[in-house]
Amino acid sequence: MAEKRKTAVGRSHAERRREAETRILQAALKIIAKRGVDQLTLAEAGEAAGYSRALPAHYFGSRDDLLAAVAAHVVETYRQRLRTDERREGPRGLEALLEGVAFYIEDSRKSPTRLRGFYEVLYAGLRHASIAPSIAKLNQDSAGSFARNIRAAQERGEVRADLDPETEGEIVIAALRGLMTQWLIAPDAVDLDKTRDALVAGLRRNWAKV
């Protein structure tokens, strides 16, 4: 109960820790986007966030743990913005599901620095065996989020019953990440509006009940 007790300034220890962790994750993401995963240090992340150089190690443990936390932070931030953008209640139908696909693209386009840092961490899982399990779990959770929404749309009778939600979720995540990676590398060569509309239209044709 002591952790939840309010401090003199009106905030609990847990609230102050959450704020510090968030600021460290955001600082680490900016460093990664600018210089890459291999240049990140725990000390620099703490200093860039306005805290002591030792605090990230105290909160996250190792650099690999910090990297995994950065990737999870980006995904959760996206989900929070999606929930805010939806402003609707009840099960998600087909059109809301497709809007979520389009939202991923639009939200990513607004924050290329955050997106670049996120992908740097994701692809680091190929080179750093210690963070590969965390990245794999993150990938599964991301695809699983789409799968749950597809299943909900099936239950509403708006999506074909013969589709496997888990497989479709994996396909959606692969398409979105592949598209945004191409855009980050050569933004002038990728028409995001045209590609977004084509992707959504293709998914609608494949998913919708005949």
Confidence of residue 102 (pLDDT cuts 50, 70, 90): very high
**Residue percentage of the chain with pLDDT more than 70:** 90
DSSP state of 187: G
CA 12 – CA 8 distance, rounded (Å) = 9
CA 203 – CA 188 distance, rounded (Å) = 25
* Contact call for residues 116 and 191 (beta carbons, < 8 A): no
Burial code (b: 16+ CB inside 10 Å, e: under 16) for 81-103 equals eeeeeeeeeeebbbebbbbbbeb
Domains of the chain in sequence order: 1-61 (1.10.10), 64-210 (1.10.357.10)
Q: What is the pLDDT of residue 85?
A: 57
Q: What is the pLDDT of residue 80?
A: 78
Question: Looking at residues 139-165, what average pLDDT do you find?
Answer: 93
What are the contacts of 80-83 at 24+ separation with CB within 8 A? Answer: 81/107, 82/107
Confidence of residue 205 (pLDDT cuts 50, 70, 90): very high
* Contact call for residues 3 and 12 (beta carbons, < 8 A): yes
User: Which amino acid does the sequence have at 104?
Assistant: Y
Query: Of 90, 100, 24, 29, nearest to 57 (Cα)?
Result: 24
Confidence of residue 27 (pLDDT cuts 50, 70, 90): very high
Q: What is the pLDDT of residue 92?
A: 64
Could you read off the pLDDT of 125-141 as tens digits, one per residue? 898 888 888 888 888 88
Give DSSP secondary structure letters for 107-132.
HHHH-HHHHHHHHHHHHHTTT-TTTH
Question: Looking at residues 23-37, what average pLDDT do you find?
Answer: 93
Look over the chain and give the mean of its residue pLDDT values, rounded to a whole number. Answer: 87
**Residue percentage of the chain with pLDDT more than 90:** 59
Could you read off the pLDDT of 68-96 as tens digits, one per residue? 898 888 878 877 776 665 554 444 689 98
